[in-house]
């Protein structure tokens, strides 16, 4: 059963009464997280004591609402939608089962994701399988479950052909061809027009064993226009394949829909300062950033894509409707917007005169983008649990946030935070909106620190369920 987007709390607001560790990049925060942080501080303190730092809190029901919002954004253009949650963006099992139980599909990109998705979802849940290489055992399992398989290369289609010829199944393999647009020539993923034509010959010959269902793509970056340009290149190809009896039923544009972590104005001001070298990064200035405060909301992004002109008077939405093509999407990051927060307790604040280092209990593997030579551009919220009143606590010109490990590069954020609030060991920082890639992509148990606990939270009755890491 699908979740209605209107039935969910959609209000987001800035941190208001909560104090951030300020760098003028105040996080946009869902009202339910806001109330939770404002009204449950002693409970949060106890949870951190019980489960250790860092601690991830995850709200799967927000994921279901986001997926419904994405589906509605497509359908509002009169286009048929198939939404697959890209489970690679977060390791949470509860997220996969919630997406499936709410009627959405799951995008899997490995044998292990496939097995987990099968374990956690009802049999009828639509699955989409991507990735540049799949073992034959995965081909076979995917064919038996009627999964839509994205074929990345002519070589991979030949491997599938050889497999289906030697392992006759009841169902044909359902495949889309992953397309590489002409303006993304350097990517190793997907196929050129010539490759697609080579595949057409195989698909025509083996149509009883391999069913062509359409095209797949996933572009790096977050541009709706680039995705529009790619679809424009596919129109002619789709017509050619049609003449061979290979009908495009799906165009799957992958992920890349935007998330607004901070307000666009604040983000643009920050970027101007960044270009002017006014921000003194520890260890060099990052050369790129995720657009933390992009101007486009998800709906506006979808409108920009759907309104892209394929030909005079013909927008993408018109073409999809006219040809009865379903638009499939595989949102990861955007599906996880406002789904999780990560809490870190402060171990120690070390004063170096011109700045202080706040050592957090846990490592940046659980929190940040610094391992991608980028930076986490969202101010954390300060939760005061420390020994206030015991000793006077100084403010400092600036704070840098570091993890507790022995690595110089274990930095939670390379940028400094203003030092005009006092922080003490025992306080905690809440990082907002960490669900999409920020919290567990690189998480490990370095120094034998246990893998951080994750608790699924139900906002309706404020109960928590611990999820076992597998
Ligand atoms: C094939 C595919 N689909 C979907 C996604 C999810 O993208 P995003 O998290 O930007 O929405 C990815 C991410 O790498 C991908 O490779």
User: Do 41 and 109 sit in the same domain of this protein?
Assistant: no
Q: For position 16, what pLDDT does the model report?
A: 58
User: In whole angstroms, how far apart are CA 388 and each of 384, 391, 394, 422?
Assistant: 8, 7, 12, 10
Report if residue 464 sits inside a domain.
no
Residue to mutate (ligand 1; options 67, 82, 83, 88; most atoms within 8 A of CB): 88
Report if residue 438 sits inside a domain.
yes
The whole-model pTM stands at 0.94
Q: Extract the tokens encoding 184.
A: 């993304």
User: Do 54 and 124 sit in the same domain of this protein?
Assistant: no
The residue written with tokens 């025992």 in the block is 426
User: Do 35 and 113 sit in the same domain of this protein?
Assistant: no
CA dihedral over 244, 250, 256, 257, signed as positive or negative: positive
User: Do 39 and 123 sit in the same domain of this protein?
Assistant: no
Report if residue 467 sits inside a domain.
no
Contact 352, 392 (CB under 8 A): no
Report if residue 342 sits inside a domain.
yes
Report if residue 465 sits inside a domain.
no
User: Do 331 and 345 sit in the same domain of this protein?
Assistant: no
Report if residue 90 sits inside a domain.
yes
The residue written with tokens 């959609």 in the block is 10
User: Do 325 and 354 sit in the same domain of this protein?
Assistant: no
Q: Within 10 A of 4 (CB to CB), how many other CB atoms are there?
A: 11
The residue written with tokens 């507790």 in the block is 404
Report if residue 285 sits inside a domain.
no
User: Do 78 and 199 sit in the same domain of this protein?
Assistant: yes
Q: For position 452, what pLDDT does the model report?
A: 95
Q: Which residues of 165-185 are buried (b: 16+ CB within 10 A; e: fewer)?
A: eeeeeeebbbbbbbbbbeebe
Nearest protein Cα to ligand 1, atom 16: 218
User: Do 53 and 65 sit in the same domain of this protein?
Assistant: no
- pLDDT tens across the length of the chain (470 residues): 444 433 333 334 555 567 777 778 999 999 999 999 999 999 999 999 999 999 999 999 999 999 999 999 999 999 999 999 999 999 999 999 999 999 999 999 999 999 999 999 999 999 999 999 999 999 999 999 999 999 999 999 999 999 999 998 899 999 999 999 999 988 999 999 999 999 999 999 999 999 999 999 999 999 999 999 999 999 999 999 999 999 999 999 999 999 999 999 999 999 988 877 777 888 777 888 899 999 999 999 999 999 999 999 999 999 999 999 999 999 999 999 999 999 999 999 999 888 999 999 999 888 878 878 888 899 999 998 876 555 556 778 889 999 999 988 888 988 888 888 889 899 999 999 999 999 998 888 889 999 999 999 999 999 999 997 54
Q: How far is the CA of 331 from the centre of ligand 1 (A)?
A: 6
> Nearest-CA neighbor of 347 among 429, 409, 454, 445?
429
Q: How far is the CA of 39 from the centre of ligand 1 (A)?
A: 35
Which residues lie with the beta carbon below 6 Å from any ligand 1 atom?
86, 89, 107, 130, 218, 254-257, 330-334
Provide the number of structural domains found in the chain: 2
In sequence order, the 6+-apart residues with CB closer than 8 A to the CB of 342 are 54, 55, 56, 57, 366, 367, 430, 431, 434, 438, 439, 452
User: Do 102 and 37 sit in the same domain of this protein?
Assistant: no
For residue 46, what are the domain limits? 5-59+338-458
Contact 309, 315 (CB under 8 A): yes
Helix (H, G, I), strand (E, B) or coil at 291: coil
Q: Which residue among 288, 318, 336 closes a domain?
A: 336
User: Do 54 and 168 sit in the same domain of this protein?
Assistant: no
Query: Which CATH number do you get for residue 185?
Result: 3.20.20.10
Nearest protein Cα to ligand 1, atom 3: 254
User: Do 53 and 120 sit in the same domain of this protein?
Assistant: no
Q: How far is the CA of 85 from the centre of ligand 1 (A)?
A: 9
Report if residue 103 sits inside a domain.
yes
Query: Which CATH number do you get for residue 390?
Result: 2.40.37.10
> Nearest-CA neighbor of 150 among 165, 163, 137, 160?
160
According to DSSP H, which parts of 77-135 are helical? 93-101, 111-120
């Amino acid at each position: 059963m699908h979740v209605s987007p209107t039935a969910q709390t959609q209000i987001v607001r800035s941190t208001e009464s909560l104090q951030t560790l300020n760098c003028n990049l105040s996080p946009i925060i869902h009202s339910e997280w806001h109330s939770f942080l404002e009204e449950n501080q002693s409970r949060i303190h106890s949870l951190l004591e019980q489960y250790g730092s860092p601690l991830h809190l995850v709200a799967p029901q927000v994921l279901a609402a986001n997926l419904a919002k994405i589906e509605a954004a497509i359908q509002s253009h009169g286009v048929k939608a198939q939404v697959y949650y890209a489970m690679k963006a977060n390791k949470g099992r509860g997220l996969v089962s919630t997406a499936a139980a709410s009627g959405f599909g799951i995008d899997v990109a490995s044998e292990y994701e496939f097995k987990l998705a099968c374990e956690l979802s009802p049999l009828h849940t639509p699955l989409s399988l991507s990735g540049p290489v799949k073992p034959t055992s995965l081909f076979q399992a995917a064919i038996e479950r009627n999964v839509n398989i994205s074929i990345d290369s002519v070589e991979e289609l030949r491997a599938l052909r050889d497999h289906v010829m030697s392992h006759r199944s009841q169902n044909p393999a359902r495949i889309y061809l992953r397309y590489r647009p002409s303006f993304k020539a350097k990517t190793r993923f997907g196929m050129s027009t010539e490759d697609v034509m080579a595949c057409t010959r195989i698909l025509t010959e083996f149509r009883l064993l391999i069913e062509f269902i359409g095209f797949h793509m996933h572009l790096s970056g977050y541009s709706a226009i680039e995705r529009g340009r790619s679809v424009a290149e596919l129109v002619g190809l789709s017509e050619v394949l049609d003449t061979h009896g290979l009908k495009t039923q799906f165009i799957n544009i992958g992920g890349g829909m935007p998330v607004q972590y901070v307000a666009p104005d604040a983000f643009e001001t920050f970027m101007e300062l960044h270009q002017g070298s006014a921000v003194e990064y520890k260890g060099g200035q990052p050369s790129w950033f995720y657009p933390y405060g992009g101007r486009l909301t998800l709906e506006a992004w979808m409108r920009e894509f759907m309104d892209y002109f394929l030909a005079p008077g013909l927008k993408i939405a018109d073409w999809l409707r006219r040809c009865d093509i379903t638009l499939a999407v595989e949102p990861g990051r955007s599906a996880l917007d406002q789904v999780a927060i990560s809490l870190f307790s402060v171990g120690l604040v070390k004063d170096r005169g011109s700045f202080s280092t706040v050592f957090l209990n846990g490592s940046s593997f659980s929190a940040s983008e610094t391992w991608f030579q980028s930076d986490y551009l969202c101010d954390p919220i300060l939760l005061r649990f420390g020994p206030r009143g015991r000793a006077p606590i100084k403010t400092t010109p600036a704070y840098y946030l570091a993890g507790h490990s022995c690595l110089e590069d274990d930095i939670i954020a390379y940028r400094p935070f203003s030092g005009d609030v006092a922080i003490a060991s025992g306080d905690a920082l809440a990082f907002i909106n960490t669900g999409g890639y920020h919290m567990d992509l690189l998480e490990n148990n370095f120094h034998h620190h246990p893998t951080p606990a994750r608790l699924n939270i139900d906002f309706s009755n404020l109960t928590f369920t611990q999820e076992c890491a597998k």
